[in-house]
Amino acid sequence: MNHECIDTNVIIRFLVETPESIPAQFKGVFRFFMKIEEGAKTVYLPELVLFQAYFVLTSYYEVPSSLAAEKLEQIVRFKGISLPDKHISEECLRIVKHENIDIVDAWILAYSTSKGITGAYSFDKDLSRLGLKLLKVE
């Protein structure tokens, strides 16, 4: 089933604004997400948008990594969120919440684990520390 995409800026407004201080042009965001949470509205959330939201939260808004991952994990679990390999994105965000690891490395780890892959071509010791064999690049 096809669903309309949701963009990063909509997610960011939902996470950084409050109903009392939100600018008028964004006021519908809280009602919109309530519908998504309940499953009354379904939207497609591309993984790229999820990652961009994480980067905007942690860099521009200086939200701690674990808190950004927690907030995004809550959104991913909304009934109306359609996301490819949703379980991989949930695991990725869970890893970021609990480990000192980059979100892309966390996704590689979550993806590999879910697919039974034991190694990755990488120079990143965090992947090795968390259980993936670093394969030699030659």
CB atoms under 10 Å from CB of 59, counted, come to: 10
Averaged pLDDT, 18-46? 94
What one-letter code names the amino acid at 95?
I
pLDDT 10s digits, 85-126: 999 999 999 999 999 999 999 999 999 999 999 999 999 999
Q: What is the pLDDT of residue 21?
A: 87
Identity (one letter) of the amino acid at 118? T
Q: At 46, phi and psi to the nearest 5?
A: -65, 145
> Tell me: the pLDDT tens digits for 5-14?
999 999 999 9
pTM over the 0.75 mark: yes
d(CA 58, CA 102): 11
What pLDDT shows up at residue 67?
97
pLDDT digits (tens, 9 = 90+) for 34-64: 999 999 999 999 999 999 999 999 999 999 9
- pLDDT score at 84: 86
C-alpha span between 43 and 7 (Å, rounded): 10
pLDDT at 1: 59
CB-hemisphere CA count at 13 Å for 53? Answer: 27
